[in-house]
Amino acid sequence: MFRNLLPAVVLLGVASIPHAAHAATPFELKSVKLDLPDSDKMFPDGPGSDVINNNCIACHSADMVLNQPLLSKQAWAAEVNKMINNYKAPIATEDVGAIVKYLTAFKGAK
């Protein structure tokens, strides 16, 4: 009986060698340096400029946002909601309308 099991045991032992060798290989975490754009430019004054400056400049420069194509109100709302839902932007629910209104006024499709 042992003679019949020996080939299976040897085969399983050989098959597990690459896995054991791979598991023993340590992985290394490396720090990544990320330089964010430095700009002191704010969004132009207008209704809602305080709200957009307080919420959006943490991640985006005003220039980057204002160089986007003209979008409809619905498209700007979708962009703001994408920032909240996908990228976890900490924008208060009560600020969303003012941000969308501001972006539509400055970069809204006519």
CATH of the domain at 82: 1.10.760.10
* Domain of residue 63, residue span: 49-107
Q: How many domains does the chain have?
A: 1
The answer to whether residue 18 sits within a structural domain is no
With tokens 């969004």, the residue in question is 43
Closest residue by Cα to residue 99 from 42, 58, 45, 50: 50
In a domain, 2, yes or no: no
pLDDT for 110: 77
Residue at 80 is within a domain: yes
Q: Is residue 16 part of a domain?
A: no
With helix as H, strand as E and coil as C, how does the chain read?
CHHHHHHHHHHHHHHHHHHHHHHHCCCCCCCCCCCCCCCCCCCCCCCCHHHHHHHHCCCCCHHHHHCCCCECHHHHHHHHHHHHHCCCCCCCHHHHHHHHHHHHHHHECC
Q: What is the pLDDT of residue 29?
A: 87
Write down the pLDDT at residue 28: 86
Of 64, 58, 65, 57, the residue nearest 105 (C-alpha): 65
Q: What is the pLDDT of residue 32?
A: 85
Tell me whether residue 11 is in a domain: no
Each of the 110 residues of the chain gets a pLDDT tens digit; together they read 556 666 766 666 666 666 545 556 778 888 888 776 666 789 999 999 999 999 999 899 999 999 999 999 999 999 999 999 999 999 999 999 999 999 999 999 97
